[in-house]
Amino acid sequence: MLLLLLLAACESSSPPDAPAQPDSAAAEPQNSHQRMVRELEAIRNQARIENVYFEDASLAETRLMLSGLDPHAPPGLRLNLLVELADASRRLGKNSDAVDALLEIHRLLQDSGIALSEKQQLALLYETALTWLRLGESENCVNCRTGDSCILPIRPGGVHQYPRGSREAMKVFLQLLEIDPDNFSARWLLNVAAMTLGEYPDSVPTEFRVAPERLMSSTEFPRFHDVAQGVGLKTINCGGGAVAEDFDNDGLIDILTSSWDPGGQIHLFRNRGDGTFEDCTEAAGLIGILGGINIVQGDFDNDGWTDVCVVRGAWLGNAGQYPNSLLRNVNGRGFEDVTFAVGLGSERFPTATAAWGDYDLDGDLDLFAGNESGPCRLYRNDGGQSFTDVASEAGVENERFTKGAVWGDVDGDGRPDLFVSNLGADNRLYRNLGNGRFEDVASQSGVTSPQWSFPTWFWDVNNDGALDLYVGSYQVGIEHIAREYFGLEREAECDGLYLGDGHGGFRDVAAEYGLTGVTQPMGANFGDLDNDGYPDFYLGTGYPMYDGLMPNLMFHNRDGTAFDNVSYAGGFAHLQKGHGIAFADLDNDGDQDVFIQMGGAYPGDAFGDVLFENPGFERHWLRLKLVGRTSNRSAIGTRIRVTVSAPDGSRTIYHSVGSGGSFGCNPLTAQIGIGEAERIDLLEIEWPASGDRQSFEAISADQFLEIEEHADAYHVRQMPRFTFRSES
pLDDT in tens, 453-476: 999 999 999 999 999 999 999 999
For residue 355, being part of any structural domain is answered with: yes
Residue 198 lies in a domain: yes
- 26 in any annotated domain: no
For residues 650 and 700, state if they share a domain. Answer: yes
Q: Say if residue 195 is in the same domain as residue 97.
A: yes
The answer to whether 655 and 625 are in contact (CB under 8 A) is: no
* CA-to-CA separations, 260 to 50, 266, 522, in angstroms, rounded: 15, 10, 13
* C-alpha distance from residue 702 to each of 89, 528, 676 (Å): 53, 15, 11
CB neighbourhood size of 57 (10 A): 11
In angstroms, the CA 219 to CA 222 distance is 10
Q: What is the CATH number of the domain that holds 296?
A: 2.130.10.130
Domain shared by 398 and 255, yes or no: yes
Looking at the fold, whether 145 and 257 belong to one and the same domain comes out as no
Examine the domain organization and report whether 503 and 630 are in the same domain: no
Q: What is the span of the domain harbouring residue 81?
A: 52-215
pTM: 0.95
Q: Which residues, at least 6 apart from 178, have a Cβ–Cβ distance to it below 8 Å?
A: none
Asked if residue 628 and residue 501 are part of one domain, the reply reads: no
Report yes or no on 454 lying in a domain: yes
CATH code of the domain containing 184? 1.25.40.10
Report the number of distinct structural domains present in the chain.
3
Contact present, 690 and 684 (Cβ < 8 Å): no
Peptide bond into 153 cis (omega under 30): yes
Final residue of a domain: which of 583, 613, 643?
A: 613
- Is residue 8 in some structural domain? no
Question: Closest Cα to residue 430, out of 421, 416, 417?
Answer: 417
- Residue 640's domain is classified under what CATH number? 2.60.40.1110
Of 613, 632, 654, which closes a domain? 613
Q: Each residue of 10-24: pLDDT tens digit? A: 333 333 343 344 444
Other CB atoms within 10 Å distance of the CB of residue 250: 13
- Residue ending a domain, among 160, 195, 215, is 215
Assess whether 608 and 626 both reside in one domain: no
DSSP assignment of 615-662, as one string? ---S-EEEEEEEE-SSS-TT-TT-EEEEEEEETTEEEEEEEE-S--SS
619: region left, alpha or beta (phi > 0 left; psi from -120 to 50 alpha): beta
pLDDT of residue 706: 99
Q: What is the pLDDT of residues 366-423, one digit of tens each?
A: 999 999 989 999 999 999 999 999 999 999 999 999 999 999 999 999 999 999 999 9
Angle at 521 between CA 520 and CA 522, to 5 degrees: 130
Contacts of 115 (CB under 8 A, 6+ apart): none
Instruction: Give dist(CA 230, CA 218) in Å, integer.
Output: 31
Residues 360 and 414 in one domain: yes
Residues 571 and 624 in one domain: no
Residues 144, 599: Cα–Cα separation, whole Å: 16
Q: Is residue 575 part of a domain?
A: yes
Query: Does residue 28 sit within a domain?
Result: no
What is the C-alpha separation between 458 and 657, in angstroms, rounded?
Answer: 11
d(CA 386, CA 383): 7
Indicate whether 241 and 142 sit together in one domain.
no
Same domain, 427 and 495: yes
pLDDT of residue 27: 57
Which residues of the chain register pLDDT less than 70? 1-27, 29, 727-728
